[in-house]
Amino acid sequence: MVSLADSVVVVTGGASGMGRSMVLEFADKGASVVAVDIDEDGLSEVISEVTADGGEAISVLGDVSDRDSIETVVEQAIDEYGTIDVLCNNAGILDDYAPAGETSEELWDSVMDINLKGLFLLTKTALPALMDGEDEGVVINTASIAGKVAGGGGAAYTSSKHAVVGFTKQLSHDYGPEIRANAVCPGFIETGMTEDLIEETPDEVDEIVQATPAERYAEPEEVARVVAFLASDDASFMHGASVDVDGGWLVD
């Protein structure tokens, strides 16, 4: 197994929120990080923060829903660092909790393209690099509590995250032990995606918070630390797991 300090880590959605925290966490542990996002300014900021602290990272402007863009991500990672040891499929979008009757075909396709198809395509494209050499490759997919229960999103988001959990299990089944695949299932996290929800529906958010044992929502750094653990040798016997980081949301 490759130690984090010697690893090459690709993080999608790396310009903000949980992805940004993952980039910083892995860089802090000595990994070389490839941060991928469509937000060029956000990428510049996070790379500047990494390098200012003496870390190693590059940015790749890329859209995970675009096949050509995905191929560029993998090519640039290999050109710069020679391989890919850890792939964090983190990029995703919400659906504003739209039920099926209010979900347009356009919204459905957009959510599926980014949350699921992009994850699949990037994993498939990166597999040769992840399986290259004697060390196991690691894939960590960002799912959600919505990947296990209803109510954490709308019809499209919940369906996509259930599929992410299933894809993670199948990936582990098909490619273990060469690939060690796991998923992380965050609950309510304070990120750019949830900022509007917090501001526009504070009473509903507070009700959600009070209903969890932790009685708070999480900071993205708390998810990033769990992801780093799953990528590390300390999680060496974890295959196909979906790890809840939800403040106890799912205990009932």
In the chain, what are the domains? 4-191+219-242 (3.40.50.720)
What pLDDT, on the 0 to 100 scale, is given for residue 2? 61
Neighbours of 25 (CB within 10 A): 24
Q: Considering only residues 197 and 53, tell me which one the structure prediction assigns the higher pLDDT.
A: 53
Rounded Cα gap, residues 179 and 85, in angstroms: 10
Rounded Cα gap, residues 38 and 178, in angstroms: 30
Active site (annotated) includes residue 97: no
Q: Which of 73-87, 191-205, 237-251 has the lowest mean pLDDT?
A: 191-205
What is the amino acid identity at position 127? Answer: L
65: nearest Cα among 18, 14, 120: 120
Catalytic entry in 81, 97, 157, 217: 157
Tens digits of residue pLDDT in 181-190: 999 999 988 7
What pLDDT, on the 0 to 100 scale, is given for residue 75? 98
Q: Is the pLDDT of residue 207 over 90?
A: no
Residue 27: both structure tokens together: 């860089």
pTM value is 0.94
Instruction: Give residue 209's pLDDT band: very low, low, confident or very high (50, 70, 90).
Output: confident
Tens digits of residue pLDDT in 210-226: 778 888 888 999 999 99
Alpha helices in 96-219 (DSSP H): 105-112, 118-130, 155-175, 192-200, 202-210
Rounded Cα gap, residues 149 and 158, in angstroms: 8
* Average pLDDT of span 235-252: 94
Tens digits of residue pLDDT in 79-99: 999 999 999 999 999 999 999
Q: Is the pLDDT of residue 194 over 80?
A: no
| CA-based torsion, 145, 147, 151, 152: positive or negative | positive
5: nearest Cα among 54, 45, 44, 72: 54
